[in-house]
Amino acid sequence: TVVSAQNFDFFYFVQQWPGSYCDTDSGCCFPLSGSPGAQFGIHGLWPNYNDGGYPSDCGGDSFDPKVLSDVLVDMNREWGSLACPSSNSESFWSHEWTKHGTCSGFSQNAYFKAALNLYNQYDLTGGLAAAGINPDGSQYNVEDIRNAMQSVLGQLPGIQCNKDQSGNLQLYQVYVCVATDGQTVIQCPVFPNNECKGSVEFPVYQSNSAASSD
């Protein structure tokens, strides 16, 4: 098959802190495959332009889990959906493929594999722990968080916060910039415009607690 030339500048490889997804007003529900561990999980691998814009829904093959049989075990472990109600995560993966993956120039199998390879190569949760930054519900400076991740990645990531049920800003997502090869971490040409600054909470995540949702 002919794969068209990439029509974007770089990828954001986006990971989410499950504790910060779960302790919002919307709550969360654990995937049917089992709850994720107390570590960052994958949200997506998103083609992006240097000016901050991005392509989406580029057409082509629709999502097909049959071509993913060799990566489904890892996808369930690292890329589970925390949205309610609990699911087998396929609607999350389908959304990520349809909106972002179809613009990557990769086959479906190569797209998910590229994200999993990036995930397994850079242990952001461990990098924070090595710097004494732990999900203990206390406050950490965003620049300390970014610097700890830089020592794992070689480059500074972007950090996005959300709010817990009391309105406190907390560490939610990490944006790692990756070349169009889907493998090489690069300096971010542009950071997401919803960055957070100052001190933010790093909430506890209990992977064995009951899923909460109202």
Q: Is 6 in the site for ligand 5GP (CB under 6 A)?
A: no
Tokens encoding 209:
């607690």
| Given 90, 96, 195, 201, the catalytic residue | 96
In the stretch 20-49, what mask flags binding to ligand 5GP with x, by CB under 6 A?
-x--x-xxx--------------xx-x-x-
Taking the alpha carbons at both ends of the chain, their separation in whole angstroms is: 46
Q: Is 211 in the site for ligand 5GP (CB under 6 A)?
A: no
**What is d(CA 46, CA 31) in angstroms, rounded to the nearest whole number?**
22
Is 90 a catalytic site residue?
no
What contacts 149, CB < 8 A, 6 or more positions away?
124, 127, 128, 156, 157, 174
Q: Is 207 in the site for ligand 5GP (CB under 6 A)?
A: no
Is 95 a catalytic site residue?
no
Q: Is 102 in the site for ligand 5GP (CB under 6 A)?
A: no
Is 43 a catalytic site residue?
yes
Q: Is 81 in the site for ligand 5GP (CB under 6 A)?
A: yes
- At residue 205, what is the residue type? Y
Q: Is 82 in the site for ligand 5GP (CB under 6 A)?
A: yes
CB of 170 to ligand 5GP, least distance (A): 12
**What is d(CA 103, CA 54) in angstroms, rounded to the nearest whole number?**
9
Cβ count near 205 (within 10 Å): 21
Length of the chain: 214
Q: Which of 163, 156, 143, 148 lies closest to 203, judged by CA?
A: 163
**What is d(CA 117, CA 16) in angstroms, rounded to the nearest whole number?**
16
Q: Is 105 in the site for ligand 5GP (CB under 6 A)?
A: no
Of the candidates 75, 83, 114, 145, which one interacts with ligand 5GP according to CB under 6 A? 83
CB of 207 to ligand 5GP, least distance (A): 14
Give the residue with the Cβ less far from ligand 5GP, 35 or 48: 48
User: Is 48 within 8 Å of 188 (Cβ atoms)?
Assistant: no
User: Is 152 within 8 Å of 124 (Cβ atoms)?
Assistant: yes
Give the residue with the Cβ less far from ligand 5GP, 60 or 95: 95
Q: Is 54 in the site for ligand 5GP (CB under 6 A)?
A: yes
Cβ count near 57 (within 10 Å): 10
State the residues that interact with ligand 5GP by CB under 6 A.
Answer: 12, 16, 21, 24, 26-28, 43-44, 46, 48, 54, 81-84, 92, 95-96, 99, 192
Which residues are designated catalytic? 43, 96, 100
